[in-house]
Structure 1
Amino acid sequence: MNDLLKLTIREILGLYREKSLSPAEYWQAVEARIASVEPKVQALYLYDPEGARSQAEASTRRWAWGEPLGPLDGIPVTVKELIATRGDPVPMGTRAVDLVPAAEDAPAAARLREDGAIIFAKTTCPDYGMLSSGLSSFHPLTRNPWDLSQNPGGSSAGASAAAAACFGPLHIGTDIGGSVRLPAGWTGIFGFKPSHGRIPVDPYYLGRCAGPMTRTVEDAALSMPTLSRPDWRDGTALEPNDYDWLDFDLDVKGMKIGLMMDAGTGLSVDADVQQAVLSAARRFEDAGAVVVPVAPVLTREMLDGLDVFWRARFWGQIEKLPDARKAMILPYIFQWAEGGSSVSGVEAVRGFDRTIEMRRACSKLFSQVDAVLSPTNPIVSYPADWASPTNDPSQPFEHIAFTVPWNMSEQPAASINCGFSTSGMPIGLQIVGPRFGDLLVLKLAHAFEEWSGGVTAWPELANE
């Protein structure tokens, strides 16, 4: 692998400033990597190398003049397919959607362009973003770069695979129940779901937010001044901030950190995952934090209620599609959604009310602790062609029990690699902070990355 691909955003920008590397030269390295590896991982949609070359040349001229547009000028970036980019269709991962060009950039894409980032591709996702899988009725099967027989997770499947495959340093995903953190955990990268409204999204709906997916904590932090600028299209967007997103100074001594090893329901935790997360928790203890076991915030009734609500909501979106269009939806997703056809309005509201219960349980826990550690994913891995870790539409949410409560409570949470299984697959540690405690989550993640050394060797793939 070209050594340029291992550089962080800070290092790349430093070389741009020194004029020892140009955006055009860096893009050449990324383009060569994609040509070699993308046929194996299938992470990209609407890949446009010619357009990227043009953007990189324009950025090269700006850097030569000493006039970069913003803090990400010349940095190659992907955005998840669900994030609209002007003039491009948004197929939502499914063959059932008409390919109509988007009229304008969604907030994240607009902010990236304003700051000179090179958007060179969209990244794949499953049908309607409703699976934690690289399986889609529209896109080719996306695979995990660490083991091509395994699943990268989802729904930000392509973003996680692209990051782990070293297709540039920054990839933007979306998350409604774990779709940034789950694939981050399964591919060994860093995935950050900020407080809801911190990064504006359009359209907004319950639980949805956007977040950076990178190979280092600092790279994610460097994207936040750009991504977090307000946008009127998101009515939940938070007020402008002047945070120093690179202030990682933190002494964890005396902090009370909850350790949640039982999600309360869903899939049981694999032994390798348990061992890796417990080892990570000991690093916080060694640094002086008080790590205490905490009970789960989720119950079976909450998770099942969420399932009922989402089935009803999604069925409401697709029920009027012609039968021919419905038949194009991934069968797993259609079978799951069809269960919403018999849900009454009262039952749907009761299901929604379970999200309020989750929010209350999360708030109660954070009245007792400063942060929470847990596994990101309960299991190590699953086959690439499975629609979900259970591969069973009657059990669609069993794998999100550690992640989904923090979407409902709107709290910041991140996944960072904390080791590897005996089979060689990455394992994710989830770090959760109080609502609006985005900087705290980044500080804790950065501290852990410093203690652990982070991931130093990424999949080569060139000879596979």
Structure 2
Amino acid sequence: MNNGLHAASAVELVAAYRDGKLSPVEVTQDVLAHVARWEPHLQATYLLRPEAALEQARASEARWRSGAPLGPLDGVPVTIKENIATRGDPLPAGTAAVDLKPAALDAPPAARLREAGAVFFSKTTMPDYGMLSSGLSSFHTLARNPWDLALTPGGSSAGAGAAAAAGYGPLHVGTDIGGSLRLPAGWCGIFTLKPSLGRIPIDPPYMGRAAGPMTRTVGDSALMMQVLSRPDARDSMNLPPNDIDWASHEVGADHLKGLRIGLLLDAGCGLPVDPEIQAAVEHAARLFEAAGAIVEPMRPFMTQSMLDGMDHLWRMRSHVDMQALRADQRAKVLPYIREWAESSAGFSGEHVFRAFSQFHATRVAAVSACSKFDYVISPVSPNMPAPAEDASPTNDPLRPLEHIGFTVPFNMSEQPAASINCGYSAGGLPIGLQIAGQRFDDLGVLRVARAFEQIREVQRPWPEPPGA
């Protein structure tokens, strides 16, 4: 904890609370002071509420003193992505087009964290409707990457990725439907787990949509999974309750011995892989081999038709949603998003049906390709982070998804997939390695990630606020 309490892991904080060495109040105060130094530069927060956070921290302090914490995260600061409902707060979904109304209830991830005593001090920003891999929003101020403020943190969990890398406390929650946890995690150098569909209940549920932890360490994500994975009937896709020993993620490098690892370096669609990213992932593969894993190259299983089909269905979905808006609301949506959605106006019914069919084709291809391996490693994204002001890596609304070829198949196949830092570019930017597992093997992915965490090179210091 030499860099300040804000930099301590949740695992460290809970142990210190239990031993009476730290108070949730002093931790929350330190986190809030650190956020105040960073936030004018990052703009990662929404509904930042210092006084409410300190009130929660004081209540947690009293519980710890009486030996009655609410759960494994009691007193640990946490942020929650803006599109995860928190009782009494509006849900703008990143866009100025939404009429702001208070949410009636906490969505499942927020409810589980609140029940466990976590200290809610802020929500985090996102782009319009979560449809961009950037922090560009018509509602929120532009979010930036703490490693380089000229660049995007990724998206759509933009503020969460930036906040985790910048040290806004240890725990953050985002969502992912095509890469929205893993892309910002990769570009911000943090860890995330996009779990198997239904492992973490979410409301509203949607095909491929998952909530997940965003943290600096694998251990903190495993700790969050103890809480986030508890069942909730509101999610029609919620997996049956399963007594998973999340603490057993803690393994050594010898855990990798004998595992069959597929190495995927070509997504089969979208942007070509940046040479620095390919070199970092190939180096990670050699580390796996040195630890005793059996690494075999994989042929690409995605196609451009699959990626385009998903894009076109999502365009039509957004077009229908926008047609339901008033004209004054529609005018407030980011022009990039409007152009993207309106481009589907001439699609025929047959075209939309064929586009929808690509979701299942992607699922079948992903499951088949991964079936011969225990785990699959790949780049998280083919490209380094784009300029902060750009809506997407191509910045072209008619080529919007060219960067999600490695991530989106695992949403459709419902497989767990993590992002963990595996190196740095010549310019000092982090590079994400994706680790995907068989469906339901969330704990296995955490174990492989924890083993890799121990065999990768020493990580560079986390970025500090300008002038610090």
Structure 1 length as normaliser, TM-score?
0.98
Q: 1:284 to 1:95 in 2, by over 3 A?
A: same
Task: Give the letter for the 1:116 counterpart.
Answer: G
Q: Residue 44 of structure 1 aligns with which residue?
A: 45
Q: Residue 210 of structure 1 aligns with which residue?
A: 211
Distance 1:190 1:53 in 2: 27
Contact 2:255–2:448 (8 Å) recurs in 1: no
Q: Residue 110 of structure 1 aligns with which residue?
A: 111
Task: Give the letter for the 1:346 counterpart.
Answer: E
> Deviations for 1:357-401, whole angstroms, at most 9, x for unmatched residues?
111111111221111000001112211111011111010000000
1:340 is displaced (CA, Å) by: 2.2
Task: Give the letter for the 2:59 counterpart.
Answer: A
Of 411, 417, 420, which aligns to 1:416? 420
1:225 is displaced (CA, Å) by: 1.2
Of 2-11 and 76-85, deviating more is: 2-11
Q: Residue 221 of structure 1 aligns with which residue?
A: 222
Q: Residue 395 of structure 1 aligns with which residue?
A: 399
Q: Residue 19 of structure 1 aligns with which residue?
A: 20
Distance 1:455 1:87 in 2: 40
Distance 1:183 1:349 in 2: 31
Contact 1:314–1:340 (8 Å) recurs in 2: no
1:201 is displaced (CA, Å) by: 0.7
Contact 1:145–1:165 (8 Å) recurs in 2: yes
Distance 2:169 2:82 in 1: 17
Q: Residue 462 of structure 2 aligns with which residue?
A: 458
> Deviations for 1:74-108, whole angstroms, at most 9, x for unmatched residues?
01101100000010000010000000100110000
Find out whether 1:282 has 2:283 as its counterpart.
Answer: no
Contact 2:262–2:370 (8 Å) recurs in 1: no
Contact 1:45–1:124 (8 Å) recurs in 2: yes
1:198 is displaced (CA, Å) by: 0.1
> Deviations for 1:263-301, whole angstroms, at most 9, x for unmatched residues?
001011111101100000111100111100001121011
Distance 2:399 2:458 in 1: 34
In the TM superposition, 1:158-307 aligns within 5 A as 158-248=159-249, 249=251, 251-307=255-311
- Equivalent position SS for 1:415: strand
- Equivalent position SS for 1:342: coil
1:455 is displaced (CA, Å) by: 3.2
1:456 is displaced (CA, Å) by: 5.0
- Equivalent position SS for 2:234: coil
Distance 2:459 2:441 in 1: 25
Task: Give the letter for the 2:171 counterpart.
Answer: L
Task: Give the letter for the 1:276 counterpart.
Answer: A
1:343 is displaced (CA, Å) by: 2.1
> Deviations for 1:111-144, whole angstroms, at most 9, x for unmatched residues?
0000000111110000000000010000000000
Distance 1:111 1:455 in 2: 32
- Equivalent position SS for 1:246: helix
Contact 1:134–1:143 (8 Å) recurs in 2: yes
Of 242-251 and 13-22, deviating more is: 242-251
Q: 1:402 to 1:454 in 2, by over 3 A?
A: farther
- Equivalent position SS for 1:161: helix
1:148 is displaced (CA, Å) by: 0.5
Contact 1:92–1:127 (8 Å) recurs in 2: yes
Task: Give the letter for the 2:389 counterpart.
Answer: D
In the TM superposition, 1:132-171 aligns within 5 A as 132-171=133-172
> Deviations for 1:180-222, whole angstroms, at most 9, x for unmatched residues?
0000000000011000000011011111110000000000000
Task: Give the letter for the 1:455 counterpart.
Answer: Q
Contact 1:170–1:213 (8 Å) recurs in 2: yes
> Deviations for 1:389-442, whole angstroms, at most 9, x for unmatched residues?
111101000000010000000100000000110011110000000000101110
1:251 is displaced (CA, Å) by: 2.1
Contact 1:188–1:455 (8 Å) recurs in 2: no
- Equivalent position SS for 2:432: strand
Distance 2:255 2:168 in 1: 34
1:253 is displaced (CA, Å) by: 1.7
CA RMSD between the two structures = 1.1
Distance 1:101 1:196 in 2: 27
**Unmatched 5+ stretches in structure 1:** none
Q: Residue 363 of structure 1 aligns with which residue?
A: 367
In the TM superposition, 1:66-77 aligns within 5 A as 66-77=67-78
Distance 2:47 2:172 in 1: 15
- Equivalent position SS for 1:210: strand
Contact 2:202–2:211 (8 Å) recurs in 1: yes
Q: Residue 32 of structure 2 aligns with which residue?
A: 31
> Once the two structures are aligned, what percentage of the paired residues are identical?
59
- Equivalent position SS for 1:101: coil
Contact 1:91–1:97 (8 Å) recurs in 2: yes
1:2 is displaced (CA, Å) by: 4.2
Contact 1:260–1:295 (8 Å) recurs in 2: yes
Distance 2:59 2:387 in 1: 42
Q: Residue 61 of structure 1 aligns with which residue?
A: 62
1:8 is displaced (CA, Å) by: 1.1
Aligned residues: 464
Distance 2:193 2:135 in 1: 19
Distance 2:224 2:53 in 1: 19
Q: Residue 433 of structure 2 aligns with which residue?
A: 429
Distance 2:105 2:350 in 1: 37
> Deviations for 1:326-345, whole angstroms, at most 9, x for unmatched residues?
11000001100112222233
Distance 1:109 1:242 in 2: 21
Of 374-383 and 107-116, deviating more is: 374-383
Of 337, 340, 360, which aligns to 1:336? 340
Contact 1:77–1:118 (8 Å) recurs in 2: yes
Contact 1:150–1:382 (8 Å) recurs in 2: yes
- Equivalent position SS for 2:214: strand
